[in-house]
Amino acid sequence: MERDKNFVLGIYDDEDVLLSAVTKVRESGVKIHEVYSPYPVHGLEHNLGYRRSRLPIAAFLFGLLGTTLALTMQFYMMKYDWPLNIGGKDHAPIPNFIPVTFELTVLLAAFGMVAVFLISSNLKPWAQPRLFDLRSTDDKHVMAIDLVYNSAIERDRIVEVLKSSGASEINNKTFE
Amino acid sequence: MQVTSPVREPLVTGGKTYKDITHDVSRQVEGKPSVSWLIGMAVALGVLLLGSIALVATLWEGIGMWGLNKTVGWAWDITNFVWWVGIGHAGTLISAVLLLFRQKWRTSINRAAEAMTIFAVICAAMFPVIHMGRPWLGAYWALPLPNTFGSLWVNFNSPLLWDVFAISTYFSVSLVFWYIGLIPDFATIRDRATGIRKSIYGALSMGWDGAAKTWMRYEAVSLILAGLATPLVLSVHTIVSFDFATSVIPGWHTTIFPPYFVAGAIFSGFAMVLTLMIITRHVFGLKDYITMGHIELMNIVIIITGSIVGIAYITEFFIAWYSGVEAEQYAFVNRMFGPYWWAYWSMMTCNVISPQLFWFKKIRTSIAATFILSIVVNIGMWFERFVIIVTSLHRDFLPSSWVMFYPTLSDVGIYLFTFGLFSTLFLLFAKFFPVINMAEVKSVLKSSSEPKVNNYNGKR
């Protein structure tokens, strides 16, 4: 058998059962491939042991880029390239540059972060998702366990662990 | 473990299950358009067509078609612009500010409110663009591009240019925020669909699979976008108010403008959300999701922001008197008792008196009263902008230049055009997109819904 092809799925109806099930399954030594949910379940990423997302850092860096670009652009255009005499006022009035600087900071932070999110999560219009169970976008939580990755543990043992953790259904899923 | 508080009103009534949510919301997208939708669409397209005559005429002939003159250089165009931008503000407030404050009731209304924001901003942005007269050259005046004669740049000292940046950032960030929220729901529809619909919603859902890791990132993105959108929404109407406040026209040159405009924007926006939501919940049968509790909470926001607006009107008046500046004093007396007295008193009645009726529980929990008052508030908010703009301009420092402003058919027609555009876009959204954020409503269902069986002896 090949890895990443053969799965056993535990289907859960309730988010709280799922949360404790994730802990139980991991404690029994079974490695979870991924959990698919119709809505965000708070604490699930923690129970699965995922590292905190670093997207906020991406947002900050893109925001910083926006601030720098905006200030550079305004100083260059207003003070160096073509200084305009507007009622004898300062060519580089910093307070007047704040609104555009703020807007560009927000714009780049938002767009940059969202771009990183889409790329890192492989979200694109032509993406063909691998769906384990269609009900995972409706009303069921689906826990996928890779059989080959867990080959040290027998399939029956995995099924037993899933059952005792509160799974309402246990299915097999094989991808071509 | 989440615990249901028996004190709180349930957010979702009727003992809905997760499957019911999927079904109730997706049904609108999957079914054939209803008769009421088709009638609505026909009316919207009719208005759009009628308005586009005025729009084409203005683009062809120039803005001389409008009622503007040498003294009143800004009138309906900027009034409508500020009015539409203001309406947009409620959507971001609901989706971003209420997210930061962890207000769960936002979940069933945020999708439609954000759609309203995006469409309202499109309508708003049309006015300054048309007012350019030759919008096809507008890029040289609005964007930081050197002009054709050399590297003369746009003026970064001008609030009008700040507006270009503020409105376009606001529009694009709102659009992205809205779309990110739509992706999981498109996936839900994709997984229920077959054939061509499956591929369309498949492309729209960008291959979403609901993996816990993606949800974790999605939550991080939502939180940061909300954190970015909150100061953004405040900045937008602040900058819009700078268009007036940084000038030296009596009645405009006041420091109270930014907070006063932001409060007014949220006030009118919530009124528009109520107008749209009351229709949507009725037509689509979503009364268990957009409950009386939601309507009441929105009415409370209207009381608060309406009172802030009322206090701002009185403060403005007091400061005009207290300043001792004659021109300023005259501007305000002229607003009240001058030739545009009717606009001023319409504004005062609609914006200051009518929202106070919501203090009565009977009125704020009545669908009919809320619907009527929500429209009254938006009429009032339109008059507010008209009063600020036209009454301040029509009698300024030079009495020999005092004139009246009268709108022409083109002014009215372009305003109608935006109504047609807004309604068309909103109806398209309501038919082809899930009007309620299914994933988010599901995430609060367990903690905040009415149980199927009443366990509390008939009471909750």
The three state secondary structure string of A31-86 is: CCCEEECCCCCCCHHHHCCCCCCCHHHHHHHHHHHHHHHHHHHHHHHHHHHCCCCC
Mean pLDDT, residues A41-70: 92
Q: Is residue B82 part of a domain?
A: yes
pLDDT at B5: 55
Weakest-pLDDT range from B204-213, B280-289, B406-415, B419-428: B280-289
Q: With an 8 Å Cβ cutoff, are A134 and B172 in contact?
A: no
Contact A69, A115 (CB under 8 A): no
> What is the distance between the alpha carbons of residues B95 and A108, in angstroms, rounded to a whole number?
20
The number of distinct structural domains making up chain A is: 2
pLDDT at B455: 46
Weakest-pLDDT range from A142-156, B62-76, B200-214: A142-156
* Out of A53, A106, A128, closest to residue B207 by CB: A128
pLDDT confidence bin for B458, thresholds 50/70/90? very low
Select from A7, A18, A121 the residue whose CB has the most chain B CBs within 10 Å, as the one to mutate to test that interface. A121
SS3 category, B380: helix
- Residue B433: is its pLDDT beyond 90? yes
Helix B341-348 with B326-337: angle, nearest 10 deg: 80
The number of distinct structural domains making up chain B is: 1
Q: What is the pLDDT of residues B323-351, one digit of tens each?
A: 998 888 999 999 999 999 999 999 999 99
Task: Give the residue numbers spanning the domain of B174.
Answer: 18-145+168-448
Q: What is the pLDDT of residues B25-37, one digit of tens each?
A: 888 888 888 898 9
* Out of A99, A120, A122, closest to residue B166 by CB: A99
pLDDT at B1: 42
Q: What is the nearest CA distance from A151 to chain B, expressed in angstroms?
A: 23
pLDDT confidence bin for B460, thresholds 50/70/90? very low
Q: Is residue A82 part of a domain?
A: yes
Q: What is the pLDDT of residues B181-217, one digit of tens each?
A: 999 999 999 999 888 989 999 999 999 999 999 999 9
B434: left (phi over 0), alpha (psi -120 to 50) or beta: beta
Q: Is residue A19 part of a domain?
A: yes
SS3 category, B439: helix
| Cβ within 8 Å of residue A3, ≥6 positions away | A146, A148, A149
Q: Which run of H or of E encompasses A174? A: strand A169-174
DSSP summary character for residue B236: H
Contact B396, B326 (CB under 8 A): no
Contacts of B153 in chain A (CB under 8 A): 77-78, 81-82
Q: Is residue B35 part of a domain?
A: yes
A29: left (phi over 0), alpha (psi -120 to 50) or beta: left
> What is the distance between the alpha carbons of residues B23 and B31, in angstroms, rounded to a whole number?
11
| Cβ within 8 Å of residue B189, ≥6 positions away | B26, B29, B30, B197, B201, B205, B434
Q: Is residue B455 part of a domain?
A: no
Q: Look at residues A120, A144, A164 and tell me which one is the last residue of a structural domain.
A: A120
- Residue A71: is its pLDDT beyond 70? yes
Task: Give the residue numbers spanning the domain of A63.
Answer: 55-120
pLDDT at B286: 86
Task: Identify the residue with better confidence: A42 or B458.
Answer: A42
pLDDT at B163: 93
Asked whether residue A46 falls in the same domain as residue A100, the answer is no
Q: With an 8 Å Cβ cutoff, are B443 and A129 in contact?
A: no
Asked whether residue A73 falls in the same domain as residue A88, the answer is yes
Q: Is residue A169 part of a domain?
A: yes
Q: A55-79: string of b/e by CB count within 10 Å (b at 16+)? A: bbebbeebbeebbeebbebbbebbe
Asked whether residue A107 falls in the same domain as residue A60, the answer is yes
Q: What is the pLDDT of residues A1-32, one digit of tens each?
A: 677 788 889 899 888 899 999 998 888 888 88
| Cβ within 8 Å of residue A113, ≥6 positions away | A55, A56, A58, A59, A62, B221, B224, B225
Mean pLDDT, residues B100-117: 88
Select from B143, B157, B443 the residue whose CB has the most chain A CBs within 10 Å, as the one to mutate to test that interface. B157
For chain B, what's the residue count?
A: 460
- Residue B375: is its pLDDT beyond 60? yes
Q: Is residue B456 part of a domain?
A: no
Asked whether residue A70 falls in the same domain as residue A113, the answer is yes
Q: Is residue A1 part of a domain?
A: no
Q: Is residue A37 part of a domain?
A: yes
- Residue B45: is its pLDDT beyond 90? yes
Tokens of B363: 């009125």
Q: With an 8 Å Cβ cutoff, are A73 and B165 in contact?
A: no
Asked whether residue A146 falls in the same domain as residue A92, the answer is no
Interface size, chain A vs chain B, as Cβ–Cβ contacts under 8 Å:
190
Asked whether residue A47 falls in the same domain as residue A68, the answer is no
> What is the distance between the alpha carbons of residues A35 and A44, in angstroms, rounded to a whole number?
9
pLDDT at A142: 92
DSSP summary character for residue B407: -
SS3 category, B334: helix
Q: Which run of H or of E encompasses B262? A: helix B257-283
> What is the distance between the alpha carbons of residues A44 and A32, in angstroms, rounded to a whole number?
12
Which residues in chain A (147-176) have CB-CB distances under 8 A to chain B? none
Asked whether residue A113 falls in the same domain as residue A64, the answer is yes
Does residue A91 sit at the B interface (CB-CB below 8 Å)?
no
Contact A33, A147 (CB under 8 A): no
Distances (CA, A) of A111 to A98, A105, A106: 20, 10, 8
| ipTM confidence | 0.93
How does strand A169-174 pair with strand A6-12? antiparallel
Does residue B145 sit at the A interface (CB-CB below 8 Å)?
no
> What is the distance between the alpha carbons of residues A37 and A140, in angstroms, rounded to a whole number?
7
- Please give the share of chain B, as a percent, with pLDDT higher than 90: 63
Q: Is residue B3 part of a domain?
A: no
CATH number at residue A43: 3.30.70
Mean pLDDT, residues B109-133: 92
Asked whether residue A60 falls in the same domain as residue A39, the answer is no
CA A97 to chain centre: 35
Q: What is the pLDDT of residues B12-21, one digit of tens each?
A: 887 788 888 8
- Mean pLDDT (chain A) is 89
Q: Is residue B428 part of a domain?
A: yes
> What is the distance between the alpha carbons of residues A26 and A38, in angstroms, rounded to a whole number?
22
Q: Is residue B421 part of a domain?
A: yes
Q: Is residue B392 part of a domain?
A: yes
Asked whether residue A60 falls in the same domain as residue A115, the answer is yes
> What is the distance between the alpha carbons of residues B375 and B118, in angstroms, rounded to a whole number?
20
Nearest alpha-carbon partner for A55 in A115, A127, A123, A124 = A115
Q: Is residue A125 part of a domain?
A: no
